[in-house]
Amino acid sequence: MITIKNLHASIEGKAILKGLNLTVNAGEVHAIMGPNGAGKSTLASILAGREEYEITAGEIDFDGKDLLDLSVEERAREGLFLAFQYPVEIPGVSNVNFLRTAINEIREHKGETAMSAKEFMALVRDKSALVELDSKLASRSVNEGFSGGEKKRNEIFQMAMLNPKLAILDETDSGLDIDALRIVANGVNELKTDQNATIIITHYQRLLDYIIPDFVHVLYDGRIVKTAGKELALELEEKGYDWIKENKVN
């Protein structure tokens, strides 16, 4: 699904990613953990197409396409989705209206016909129920006045609406209460098929109790320095990152 090779990226002359390699196949769930400032959100932003970063080396293949060649919207239309760590508020743009535009632009891109209003409303009902997002929130301005947890839930609602091939969840679990965490995790699990893949960026093992990852990676200082199965998350929870930092030196 996605192959990242030797990715180097910097911002304002400061190197953040320093030779990152990662391969995610269809049907897989990958967790990326790592200390604050390691570059996790940077990786997510670069995948989504944020233009502030300078890619100094490396390549990213997304389902046979050169991802770095695609515009932000083309990536989304090809099936990439980022649930933001800090979703923006956009007063005056209604959640459902913008999603309808998005879905139809994606469909147009794929040469499909536009979704009817009826079909769309049914989808909204369905998917807002999946993440237990109040239908009033679904039709309000994007994230305006939403609580932290509601914003995160809205990200997963959008993911459910857009049904991406590759979803990247950047700390979607932070700020969620226990119930919301289960609901969000349940939503992600429901959406999982052998055709799509998920990258979960998180600091906490807790989420991974609900969404079982196939691989856990440690991103440290701009590189994936360790990859293992789900037991690695438990080990990190227990021991922190210091032992990995020490390992990394050699």
Ligand X SMILES: Nc1ncnc2c1ncn2[C@@H]1O[C@H](COP(=O)(O)OP(=O)(O)OP(=O)(O)O)[C@@H](O)[C@H]1O
Chain residues binding ligand X by CB under 6 A are 11-12, 14, 16, 34, 36-42
What track of x and - describes contact with other proteins for positions 100 through 139 (by CB under 8 A)? -xxx-xx--x------------------------------
Given other proteins, Mg ion, ligand X, none, residue 239, with its beta carbon under 5 to 8 Å by kind, binds none
End-to-end Cα, the chain, rounded Å:
31
Write down how long the chain is.
250
- Structural contact between residues 104 and 112, judged by C-beta atoms closer than 8 angstroms: no
Binding status of residue 84 toward other proteins by CB under 8 A: yes
SS3 95: helix
Does 41 help bind Mg ion (rule: CB under 5 A)? yes
Residue 71, binding choice from other proteins, Mg ion, ligand X, none, Cβ under 5 to 8 Å by partner class = other proteins
Q: Does 67 bind other proteins (CB under 8 A)?
A: no
Strands (DSSP E) contained in 84-206 are: 90-94, 141-142, 166-170, 197-201
Q: Which of residues 107-146 bind Mg ion (CB under 5 A)?
A: none
Q: Is there binding between residue 63 and other proteins (CB under 8 A)?
A: no
Structure tokens at 82: 């980022």
Cβ of residue 1: shortest distance to other proteins, in angstroms?
18
Residues 195, 27: contact at Cβ < 8 Å?
yes
Q: Which does 30 bind (CB under 5 to 8 A by kind): other proteins, Mg ion, ligand X, none?
A: none
CA angle 154–47–183, rounded 5-degree value: 25
Residues 6+ apart with CB under 8 A from 73: 105
**Nearest approach, Cβ of 88 to other proteins (angstroms)?**
5
Q: Shortest approach of other proteins to residue 105 CB, angstroms? A: 5
